[in-house]
């Protein structure tokens, strides 16, 4: 099985590539060949991942687990290893494929950027950290890669750091996700304290042995703490505030973050540690409700956004909520299925949006309109992606959303209702985006008249992703292919082999379809025409609602308040320190001390000073003489010290 024995190269190759690009070659122009190093490395990894996935799908591969001892500390041994199961094999393909396409696409998109070379180094590094996170068998290494993902996202979101927006956004993303990472870290410590290992395989085995080996409270605590971490990375309520701002980075980076690397990490964390959630219904419920709240809140915000990338960002948040909801409702396969299909159409949406922005040089949909004639390829591919994400029958999103809603129905019809509502909103805001951008009238002639189709190196990835957005759902759902590889435990596999849709009423799929149609129809009625006054009228009448949505339900303000509240607390404490502690204990003490010392001073002046003055004169003269030796260079002192120590050491050793 050389495929498996070399699997660590999938993470190492892009890492090496990124350092090669960063350190080799001074040519920072766009004629440099260095980007091809990154593209080639990612291409090799893509082929490798595809071969592994093929083995899992058709070759009957079993999960592969191998570890090497890393370091030991007393009795405790930390191991370094890989754990490749069906879930990981799918993640590998998703990450490498999206990352490969993004790198190809960026050749044109970032053409002429002054830091072209560095951009490619960062991209490779980003993918390498994510791939490391996917293959590792050890939660400790997982955490390290998780942080590396955070760092590289910081670098890429703030890639144009000379502008204020990206610099602020990268800081916000970093600090917000760090807040979640704190939860992840605490979770790791809880697990380690209970189980004494962070190896995923051993932990899972422990969880399977029963509650005496992994108490339910521990599982719940660790699971919820991991959920906090996942909420930071995967932009769940209430830590989603960084994702819309992360749009300040280059658009291909947004595609990478949203489709494959960063935000998928949180969902993947929950999937990897699913044994915790299986052991604790409380943690499971927390995941489900977090996901549900995120899905519906983010969909609401997407409806009112005018920045084309922000709409997509909120849509990502909402879809991630869907995945979490599925995982929390027990639909392990459904959640990861949606993760896979979502990666394809979300990458496509972002890359197509990038193509539009590249052509019209604005993000504001109010200035676009009627671009379908100028940019046919972008228009068609983006419409395909919109159909896929909103669940048009037989497109990729239809299958995965269907699977999620089915799993959620079995859990709770209330959750299902909110889920379907979110699906309707999804379809509405996606087609609002399509209609505003590509149909109607061209609202800003200045922007739109020079718009033209992007070069083939950009549209190529678009078409490839469009094909995947259409076909991947059917291909993977067909014969239960996806479920045969990605499932949790034997139970879930059995459940799916029985033919999926049992125990749920037959009208279930029709409700989702109705949600899709109603969303599309509403968007058509409001936005697909030259005259947008109807939409404006509705906005007029519902001003408070719109204001709330545009303010993102005040979450941003809440966190800012948190910061300024702690600021105020700090200054209050500073005041207390200054005015009370200092005044009472320091200044009061000083008064007493001063009185005593004045008394002493009298004595001092009369008797001691004479003696002191004598000594002082001697010392001053001697000191003046010696001070000629001291030249104020700190390193000279260090040299004397080093010489003295080595002389002393020589003396000791030769004695």
Partner 1 sequence: MTLSHYLAVSTALFLIGLFGALTRRNILGILMGIELMFNAANINLAAFNRFLHPSGFVGSAVAVFIIAVAAAEIVVGLALVVAIYRAQGTLYTEDIHLLKG
| Closest to 267 measured CA to CA, from 259, 385, 49, 400 | 259
Position 653 contacts partner 1 (CB under 8 A): no
471 to 97, 355, 394, 443, 452: CA distances (angstroms):
15, 23, 8, 35, 28
Separation between Cα atoms, residue 390 and residue 521, nearest integer Å:
13
CB of 71 to partner 1, least distance (A): 9
- Tokens 């949606």: give the residue: 338
- Tokens 């320091």: give the residue: 586
For residue 82, list its beta bridge partners: 66, 136
Q: Given the complex with partner 1, which of 208 and 627 has the nearer CB atom? A: 627
CB of 623 to partner 1, least distance (A): 8
Choose which of 542, 569, 584, 626 interacts with partner 1 (CB under 8 A). 626
Q: Given the complex with partner 1, which of 7 and 188 has the nearer CB atom? A: 188
CB of 19 to partner 1, least distance (A): 20
CA 93 distance to own-chain centroid: 18
Structure tokens at 209: 């042995």
Position 622 contacts partner 1 (CB under 8 A): no
CB of 640 to partner 1, least distance (A): 11
CA 66 distance to own-chain centroid: 27
Dmax over Cα atoms in the chain, in whole Å?
108
Position 633 contacts partner 1 (CB under 8 A): yes
CB of 645 to partner 1, least distance (A): 10
Separation between Cα atoms, residue 361 and residue 233, nearest integer Å:
29
Q: Which stretch binds partner 1 (CB under 8 A): 93-101, 472-480, 542-550, 620-628?
A: 620-628
Residues 55-74 that bind partner 1 (CB under 8 A): 73-74
Choose which of 586, 630, 644, 647 interacts with partner 1 (CB under 8 A). 630
Separation between Cα atoms, residue 201 and residue 209, nearest integer Å:
12
Position 631 contacts partner 1 (CB under 8 A): yes
Q: Given the complex with partner 1, which of 26 and 631 has the nearer CB atom? A: 631
| Closest to 227 measured CA to CA, from 320, 290, 280 | 290
Q: Given the complex with partner 1, which of 533 and 633 has the nearer CB atom? A: 633
Question: How long is the chain?
Answer: 655
Position 629 contacts partner 1 (CB under 8 A): yes
Angle in degrees, CA 96, 146, 106, rounded to 5: 40
CB of 35 to partner 1, least distance (A): 32
Position 642 contacts partner 1 (CB under 8 A): yes
| Eight-class DSSP state of 70 | E
- Find out whether the peptide bond into 238 is cis, omega within 30 degrees of 0: yes
Separation between Cα atoms, residue 67 and residue 258, nearest integer Å:
31
Separation between Cα atoms, residue 430 and residue 85, nearest integer Å:
34
CB of 643 to partner 1, least distance (A): 10
Separation between Cα atoms, residue 131 and residue 342, nearest integer Å:
18
Q: Given the complex with partner 1, which of 560 and 643 has the nearer CB atom? A: 643
Q: Which stretch binds partner 1 (CB under 8 A): 100-108, 510-518, 523-531, 629-637?
A: 629-637
Separation between Cα atoms, residue 625 and residue 510, nearest integer Å:
98
Q: Given the complex with partner 1, which of 73 and 651 has the nearer CB atom? A: 73
| Eight-class DSSP state of 453 | P
Whether residue 283 contacts residue 220, with contact meaning beta carbons closer than 8 Å, is answered with: yes
Torsion angle of C-alpha atoms 376, 377, 378, 383, degrees rounded to 10: 80
Q: Given the complex with partner 1, which of 591 and 634 has the nearer CB atom? A: 634
Q: Given the complex with partner 1, which of 543 and 633 has the nearer CB atom? A: 633
Separation between Cα atoms, residue 26 and residue 149, nearest integer Å:
26
Q: Which stretch binds partner 1 (CB under 8 A): 210-218, 482-490, 577-585, 632-640?
A: 632-640
CB of 617 to partner 1, least distance (A): 17
Size of the site for partner 1 (CB under 8 A): 17
x/- track of binding to partner 1 for residues 69-108 (CB under 8 A): ----xx----------------------------------
Residue 72: its H or E element:
strand 64-73
Position 635 contacts partner 1 (CB under 8 A): yes
Q: Which stretch binds partner 1 (CB under 8 A): 297-305, 323-331, 379-387, 631-639?
A: 631-639
Separation between Cα atoms, residue 62 and residue 55, nearest integer Å:
9
CB of 628 to partner 1, least distance (A): 6
Choose which of 499, 632, 653, 654 interacts with partner 1 (CB under 8 A). 632
CB of 72 to partner 1, least distance (A): 8
Q: Given the complex with partner 1, which of 494 and 630 has the nearer CB atom? A: 630
Contact footprint for partner 1 (CB under 8 A): 73-74, 623-624, 626-635, 638-639, 642
């Amino acid at each position: 099985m050389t495929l498996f024995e070399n699997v660590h190269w999938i993470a190492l190759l892009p890492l090496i590539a990124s350092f090669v690009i960063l350190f080799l070659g001074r040519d920072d122009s766009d004629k440099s060949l260095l980007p091809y190093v990154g593209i080639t490395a990612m291409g090799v990894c893509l082929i490798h991942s595809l071969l592994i996935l093929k083995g899992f799908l058709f070759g009957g591969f079993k999960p592969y687990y191998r570890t090497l001892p890393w370091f030991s500390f007393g009795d405790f041994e930390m191991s370094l290893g890989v754990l490749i199961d069906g879930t990981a094999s799918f993640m590998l393909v998703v990450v490498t494929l999206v990352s490969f396409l993004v790198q190809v696409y960026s050749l044109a998109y970032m053409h002429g950027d002054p830091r072209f070379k560095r951009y490619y180094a960062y991209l490779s590094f980003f993918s390498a950290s994510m791939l490391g996170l996917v293959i590792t068998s050890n939660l400790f290494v997982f955490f390290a890669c998780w942080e590396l993902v955070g760092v590289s996202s910081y670098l890429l979101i703030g890639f144009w750091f000379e502008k204020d927006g990206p610099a602020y956004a990268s800081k916000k993303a970093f600090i917000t996700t760090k807040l979640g990472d704190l939860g992840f870290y605490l979770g790791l410590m809880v697990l380690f304290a209970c189980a004494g290992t962070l190896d995923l395989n051993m932990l899972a085995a422990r969880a399977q042995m029963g509650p005496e080996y992994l108490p339910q409270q521990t599982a719940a605590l660790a699971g919820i703490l991991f959920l906090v971490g996942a909420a930071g990375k995967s932009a769940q309520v209430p830590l989603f505030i960084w994702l819309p701002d992360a749009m300040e980075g280059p658009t291909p980076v947004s595609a990478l973050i949203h489709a494959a690397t960063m935000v998928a990490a949180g969902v993947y964390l929950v999937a990897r540690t699913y044994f915790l959630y299986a052991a604790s219904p409380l943690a499971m419920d927390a995941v489900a409700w977090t996901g549900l709240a995120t899905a519906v809140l983010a969909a609401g915000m997407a409806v009112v956004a005018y920045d084309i990338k922000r709409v997509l960002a909120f849509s990502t948040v909402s879809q991630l909520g869907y995945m979490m909801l599925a995982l929390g409702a027990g639909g392990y396969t459904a959640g990861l299925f949606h993760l896979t299909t979502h990666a394809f159409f979300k990458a496509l949406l972002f890359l197509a949006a990038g193509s539009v922005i590249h052509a019209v040089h604005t993000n504001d949909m109010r200035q676009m309109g009627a671009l379908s004639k100028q940019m046919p390829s972008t228009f068609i591919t983006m419409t395909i992606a919109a159909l896929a994400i909103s669940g048009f029958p037989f497109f990729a999103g239809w299958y995965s959303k269907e699977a999620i809603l089915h799993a959620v129905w079995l859990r709770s019809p209330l959750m299902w209702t909110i889920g379907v509502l979110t699906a309707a909103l999804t379809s509405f805001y996606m087609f609002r985006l399509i209609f505003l951008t590509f149909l109607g009238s061209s609202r800003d002639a200045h922007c739109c008249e020079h718009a033209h189709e992007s070069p083939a190196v950009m549209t190529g990835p678009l078409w490839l992703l469009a094909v995947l957005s259409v076909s991947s759902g059917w291909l993977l759902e067909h014969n239960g292919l996806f479920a045969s590889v990605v499932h949790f435990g034997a139970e879930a596999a059995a459940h799916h082999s029985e033919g999926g849709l049992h125990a749920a009423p037959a009208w279930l799929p029709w409700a989702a379809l109705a949600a899709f149609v109603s969303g599309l129809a509403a968007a058509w009625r409001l936005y697909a025409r030259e005259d947008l006054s109807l939409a404006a009228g509705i906005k007029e009448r519902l001003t408070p609602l719109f204001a709330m949505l545009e303010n993102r339900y005040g979450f941003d303000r809440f966190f800012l308040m948190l910061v300024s509240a702690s600021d105020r607390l700090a200054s209050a404490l500073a005041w207390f320190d200054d005015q009370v502690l200092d005044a009472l204990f320091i200044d009061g003490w000083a008064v007493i001390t001063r009185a005593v010392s004045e008394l002493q001073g009298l004595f001092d002046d009369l008797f001691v000073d004479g003696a002191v003055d004598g000594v002082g004169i001697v010392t001053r003269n001697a000191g003046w003489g010696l001070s000629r030796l001291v030249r104020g260079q700190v390193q000279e002192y260090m040299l004397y010290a080093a010489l003295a120590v080595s002389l002393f050491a020589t003396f000791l050793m030769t004695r």
